[in-house]
Each structure stands twice: as C-alpha cells, then as structure tokens.
A and B are shown apart, each in its own frame.
Chain A
Amino acid sequence: ETGVTQTPRHLVMGMTNKKSLKCEQHLGHNAMYWYKQSAKKPLELMFVYSLEERVENNSVPSRFSPECPNSSHLFLHLHTLQPEDSALYLCASSSGIGTDTEAFFGQGTRLTVV
C-alpha cells in the first residue's frame, strides 16, 4: 500500500496523441516530483513542485507539461511525444526541505510511445 498513487499504471500512445499522467499523495507532504526512469539509466529528475509552485525544471522538453493544482495532486501532460520518451515515469513526494527527508514514490506509469 503506497501513500502516493499514480494513474494510469500503463499507457500506450501514438506520437500525435495528448494524454495526462496523474499523481495523488495522501501523506500531507508539500513537495512533489516527477522522475523519468529509462532502461540502463539512473532516475532523472524532471520537475519539482514545492507548495504548488514549480521550483525546478531540469531542461525538460516542452512536450512535457506539469501541473500542480494543489499540494496533493500533480499532473504530467504529454503531447507529440517521441519513441525515445518511452520510460517509467515516477511521481514522488516529500515533506519538504530537510537533510533526511525521505521521498516516497508512486508505483509509476509505464509509458510506451509508438
């Protein structure tokens, strides 16, 4: 049982489609993250939101568009993706700044772009 829930768990989309990934956390945290995990590569941080404001964007292509309407919800809007964007997209949350702040991850959305 995880305090961070992601939907859908699996998604197959064409390069011209528009889809959204959803993340919800039930832990009362005030920071949320999107990570990308590709085969043979380490987790890559995409976006960080703190108190619903984006505080970091690691030069992610504009075809990925995040939205954080409140501290419990995070979306990743996808449009005109490329096959190389196929990966596991993980959402995480934490209680904020702190040297020992643990990040809790959702189970991820496995995305395949065809």
Chain B
Amino acid sequence: RKEVEQDPGPFNVPEGATVAFNCTYSNSASQSFFWYRQDCRKEPKLLMSVYSSGNEDGRFTAQLNRASQYISLLIRDSKLSDSATYLCVVKVEGGSQGNLIFGKGTKLSVKP
C-alpha cells in the first residue's frame, strides 16, 4: 500500500463548482498533515495545514479523520486560478528530522 494515496485525476469542473479531494495515509504514526498546491512547471507551495478539528481558509476547507487515516480538501466556488495539482502531504516525526511524504497529487482544471 502506498504511504499517501490520492484520488486519481484529473478533475475537470466548471467555474463556481464545489470540488472535493480525498487522501488516505498508511502510517498511523503520522503527526502533521498538509495540502500543497503545485502549478504547472512550478514548485509546490503550502496551501494549508490540516488540523484535527478541521479548518477553513476562505473557500478552502480541510478535514482530518485520524481514526480512518483520511484527509480531505473542499474547494467552494472554484475559480479559474484554482487550476493546479493538489498534493496531500503527511509528516512523520521521528529520527532527527521530520519527513514529508507526498501523494502523487490530483490535477484540477477549472473551465469557464
């Protein structure tokens, strides 16, 4: 089983749509969770951290279910500029440095 698995993409949605990404992780010792965004031919950038209580940042809502080892990202009222690849990232503490484990990413394409 892959360490971090994400929905296969691509997701093609119209502007204004609500889109949800799902992610599961295999290591129950995972401590921290993030969603990164990567634009075409650019570097990944942090979109938001994911907290156990769930958190919201404008049109973006992230949820974490530790029991199911499941993370989600919801984008409401999607914009053309949301088109990118969304990477689910898990951090496993241990050793002398935490290690970020990336999923393959799900590509989102928002159309006019």
B61 interface residue, CB < 8 Å from A? Answer: no
Q: Interface size on A (CB < 8 Å)?
A: 26
A-B contact count (CB 8 A): 58
Specify the chain A residue showing the minimal Cβ separation from B34. A102
A25 interface residue, CB < 8 Å from B? Answer: no
B4 interface residue, CB < 8 Å from A? Answer: yes
Q: Chain B's interface: helix, strand, loop or mixed, by majority?
A: strand
Specify the chain B residue showing the minimal Cβ separation from A91. B43
A15 interface residue, CB < 8 Å from B? Answer: no
Q: How far is the CA of A96 from the CA of B95 in the complex (A)?
A: 12
A34 interface residue, CB < 8 Å from B? Answer: no
A11 interface residue, CB < 8 Å from B? Answer: no
Q: How far is the CA of A29 from the CA of B49 in the complex (A)?
A: 19
Report B53 CB to chain A, min CB distance, Å.
14
The answer, among B4, B31, B87, B96, for a CB contact under 8 Å with A55, is B96
